[in-house]
Amino acid sequence: MNLELEGKVVLITGGSKGIGLACARAFAEEGALVAIASRSAENLKKAAEELKTHGIAAVTIAADLRNVDEAHRMAKEVASRLGPVDILVNSAGAANRSPPAELTAKHWHDAMQAKYFTYIHAMDAVLPGMVQRGGGVVVNVVGTGGKQASSIHLPGGAANAALMLASVGLGNAFAGKNIRVNAVNPSATLTDRLQEGIAADARASGSTPDDMLAKRTKQHPMGRFAEPNEVADVVVFLASKRASYVNGAVLTVDGGASPIVV
């Protein structure tokens, strides 16, 4: 299937590891020109080296997207090195998971800064250019925690819920400008963030991380968690011409763990 992504400029925030890095590889394999952004220059260097082993050269940009000016600088640098951004994939930021007894107001503020505003700032940096050029795509990798409250992920879940509303609302608002905005909600995926969540679950229950991981894996209907590339495949599809009429959608990718109709 031709996804018509050849030569498209794709900017992936949080692209230095996990789902974001898997997206970088998947887009590059479709012939897209890829830029990845992260706060950590060290993580970006490691990501670039890993991508190079697959024959992929990616532009790397260190930027703290909690700062809107940094987001605009990032977009300008991508434009100067590859061209204007055709596709933005937001996979940056993650709120730390904490048992309820450990929560403070700071956790809630930090969660919005780490997850919500990083995405909002990145979109703010690229949407005007997409409007001017007459089209573009945004895919926000959010998370199922915004739909189903978890006691160890309340601040992050609140940020995810806000992002879902922003995604569908912007999809509606910019549809007439040939701009699509969708969200992907992965559940537990085999990344470093999963390990953080497992550790928080273990602290809350008095269990060990290994026991908690085994328990949660056994509870999953597919008997396993998602691989990052499985989420990346969905992101690439949504960004492609094959999904040209999918807009303002929130697509859950959880292996059937949430058997509900929404």
Question: Is 13 inside a domain boundary?
Answer: yes
Radius of gyration of the chain (CA): 18
Question: Is 42 inside a domain boundary?
Answer: yes
Question: Is 126 inside a domain boundary?
Answer: yes
Contact 73, 65 (CB under 8 A): no
Give pLDDT, residue 188.
Answer: 75
Within a 10 A sphere around the Cβ of 149, how many other Cβ atoms? Answer: 11
pLDDT tens for the chain, 262 residues: list them.
899 999 999 999 999 999 999 999 999 999 999 999 999 999 999 999 999 999 999 999 999 999 999 999 999 999 999 999 999 999 987 777 787 889 999 999 999 999 999 999 999 999 999 999 999 999 999 998 888 888 888 999 999 999 999 999 999 999 999 999 999 999 877 676 666 666 767 777 788 877 777 777 777 888 888 899 999 999 999 999 999 999 999 999 999 888 877 6
Question: Is 3 inside a domain boundary?
Answer: no
Give pLDDT, residue 194.
Answer: 63
pLDDT tens digits, one per residue of 13-43: 999 999 999 999 999 999 999 999 999 999 9
Domain that holds residue 218: 9-252
Provide the β-strand partners of residue 87: 10, 137
DSSP annotation of 214? H
Question: Is 258 inside a domain boundary?
Answer: no
Question: Is 21 inside a domain boundary?
Answer: yes
The token duo for 256 is 């059937």
Provide the β-strand partners of residue 90: 13, 140
Question: Is 4 inside a domain boundary?
Answer: no
User: How many domains in the chain?
Assistant: 1
Q: In angstroms, rounded to a whole number, what is the distance separating the alpha carbons of residues 244 and 222?
A: 30
Question: Is 257 inside a domain boundary?
Answer: no
Give pLDDT, residue 190.
Answer: 66
Give pLDDT, residue 166.
Answer: 98
Provide the β-strand partners of residue 137: 87, 180
Q: In angstroms, rounded to a whole number, what is the distance separating the alpha carbons of residues 127 and 125?
A: 6
Give pLDDT, residue 262.
Answer: 65
- What's the CATH number where 246 sits? 3.40.50.720
